[in-house]
Structure 1
Amino acid sequence: MSSADRVVLVLGGAGTVGSGVVKALLDKGFKVAVISRDSGRLDTLSSFVSPNTKDNLTTIVGNVGSEDGAEQAKQQVLKAVGKITDVVSSMGFSWWQGGPPHTQTLKDLHWVIDCLLYSTFVSWKAFFPLVRDDPNCTYTFITGGAGEKLLMPGTGFLTVGAASTLAFCQVLREEYPNVACKLNQVRIDTGVASSERLAPGFLNHLELGQAVAALVERRSTSHSIFNINCPEDLKTVLFDQHV
Structure 2
Amino acid sequence: MSNSERVVLVLGGAGTVGSGVVKALLEKGFKVAVISRDGNRLDKLKSFVSPNTRDNLTTLVGNVGSEEGAEQVKEALLKTTGKVTDVVSSLGFSWWQGGPPHTQTVKDLHWVMETLLYSTFVSWKAFFPLVKDNTDYTYTFITGGAGEKLLMPGTGFLTVGAASALAFCQVLREEYPEVVCKMNQVNIDTGVATPDRMAPGYLNHLDLGEAIAALVERRSTSHTVYTVKCPEDLKTVLLDQNL
Please, what TM-score do these two structures have when normalized by structure 2?
A: 0.99
Q: Paired residue for 2:18?
A: 18
Q: Paired residue for 2:59?
A: 59
Q: Paired residue for 1:137?
A: 137
- Report the secondary structure of 2:70's partner residue: helix
Please, what TM-score do these two structures have when normalized by structure 1?
A: 0.99
Mapped pair 1:50 → 2:50? yes
Q: Please tell me the root mean square deviation across aligned C-alpha atoms, in Å.
A: 0.7
Q: Paired residue for 2:202?
A: 202
Residue 24 of structure 1 contacts residue 206 of structure 1 at CA under 8 Å; is this kept in 2? yes
- Report the secondary structure of 2:187's partner residue: strand
Q: Paired residue for 1:75?
A: 75
Map 1:105-144 onto structure 2 (within 5 A): 105-144=105-144
Spell out, residue by residue over 1:192-236, the C-alpha distance to the aligned partner (whole angstroms, 9 max, x if none): 000110011000000000000000000010000000000000002
Map 1:144-223 onto structure 2 (within 5 A): 144-223=144-223
Residue 240 of structure 1 deviates from its aligned partner by 2.1
Mapped pair 1:39 → 2:39? yes
Quick one: distance in 1 between partners of 2:71 and 2:36?
14
- Report the secondary structure of 1:187's partner residue: strand
Spell out, residue by residue over 1:92-115, the C-alpha distance to the aligned partner (whole angstroms, 9 max, x if none): 000000000000000000000000
Residue 160 of structure 1 deviates from its aligned partner by 0.1
Give the AA of the match of 1:144.
G
Q: Paired residue for 2:226?
A: 226
Identity in percent: 79
Residue 226 of structure 2 contacts residue 238 of structure 2 at CA under 8 Å; is this kept in 1? no
Residue 54 of structure 1 deviates from its aligned partner by 0.1
Q: Paired residue for 1:7?
A: 7
- Report the secondary structure of 2:22's partner residue: helix
Mapped pair 1:89 → 2:101? no
Q: What is the number of equivalent residue pairs in this alignment?
A: 243
Give the AA of the match of 2:70.
A
Residue 214 of structure 1 contacts residue 237 of structure 1 at CA under 8 Å; is this kept in 2? no
Residue 31 of structure 1 deviates from its aligned partner by 0.1
Query: Structure 1, unaligned stretches of length 5 or more?
Result: none
